[in-house]
Amino acid sequence: MAERLPYIVQPMTLADIDRVLEIEQLSFSAPWSARAYRFEITQNEHSTMLVVRPAASRPVVAARWLRLLSPGVREPVLGYAGFWLLSEEAHIATIAVHPEWRGRGLGELLLLSLLEEAMESDARRATLEVRVSNTVAQALYRKYGFQTVSRSKRYYADNNEDAYIMATSPFETPGFTDRLRLRRAELRSRLRQEAEAAGPHPQRIQKESH
């Protein structure tokens, strides 16, 4: 039997919204509202929203985090992500990880999970926007096959920063699935090695949300 990962990725539920909003407000200058997330979860049939949390069997959560749990939720949400399936294209709308948990590979795990969900949903490729200044996120996206296809002027309303439009090659392109399989194996190894470091981590990877 394959060794379990110290984190699990699951569909976002209504019970997760309060925690998601906390991370949202810590991550973005124009955060989504609770109403927006309720819509994505309950009404938008084109939306896939995921959360990442510690696996219940792994002691990777400090005791102070346990006080943040909502009733009925065994482990806290550490990050979340989502895409919209539009005309066979999976548009990644948001990825965010709590500041104290960034740099541990959770954003990468969410990105990989989105791509795998998109492929299972019969999407042909994935797209996203990213701030031109966010070179760390761009490097992660390129690691998973995204390439810059255009630049959108003054895309972000908070500071009028440009955005790069990035997209993968079609998922059926030879080698794309093999790339994901290799990245997943590498990430599984990293997550297992880093799972014991449950305290705040200084490295931060910013993600984009719209």
Residue 205 maps to a domain: no
How is the beta sheet containing 47-54 ordered, strand by strand?
A: 7-11, 47-54, 79-86, 89-97, 125-131, 161-168, 146-156
Please state the rounded mean pLDDT for residues 201-208.
40
Measured in degrees and rounded to the nearest 5, phi and psi for residue 21 equal -65, -35
pLDDT of residue 193: 83
Band (66; pLDDT cuts 50, 70, 90): very low
Q: Which of 129, 155, 164, 208 is catalytic?
A: 129
- Asked, for residue 65, whether it belongs to a domain, the answer is yes
- Mean pLDDT (whole number) for 134-160: 95
Domain assignment of residue 32, yes or no: yes
Q: Would 207 be classed as within a structural domain?
A: no
Check if 120 is active-site.
no
Query: Which of 191, 14, 196 lies closest to 109 in space, CA to CA?
Result: 191
What is the per-residue pLDDT across 165-195, written as a single tens digit (0 to 9) for each? Answer: 999 999 999 999 999 999 999 999 999 887 6
The answer to the question of residue 31 being in a domain is: yes
Q: What pLDDT is recorded for position 3? A: 58
CATH of residue 46's domain is 3.40.630.30
**Is 114 domain-assigned?**
yes
| Residue 59 confidence (pLDDT) | 44
Burial class (CB in 10 A: 0-12, 13-18, 19+), 207: buried
116 is catalytic: no
Q: In this structure, is residue 201 part of a structural domain?
A: no
Structure confidence by residue, pLDDT tens digits, 17-27? 999 999 999 99
**Number of structural domains the chain divides into:** 1
Confidence of residue 12 (pLDDT cuts 50, 70, 90): very high
The residue among 116, 57, 51 whose CA lies nearest residue 80 is 51
pLDDT level of residue 111 (50, 70, 90 thresholds):
very high
Helices (H), 1-134: 17-27, 34-42, 63-66, 106-120
Lowest mean pLDDT among 8-12, 82-86, 115-119, 203-207: 203-207
DSSP symbol at 33: P
Q: What is the pLDDT of residue 134?
A: 94
Asked if residue 109 is part of any domain, the answer here is yes
Residue-range definition of the domain harbouring residue 40: 7-194
Q: Which of 37, 80, 141, 164 is catalytic?
A: 141
CB atoms within 10 A of CB 141: 24
Q: How far apart are CA 92 and CA 98, in angstroms?
A: 18
Pairing of strands 79-86, 89-97: antiparallel
Burial group, residue 122, by CB count within 10 angstroms (0-12, 13-18, 19+): exposed
d(CA 119, CA 181): 13
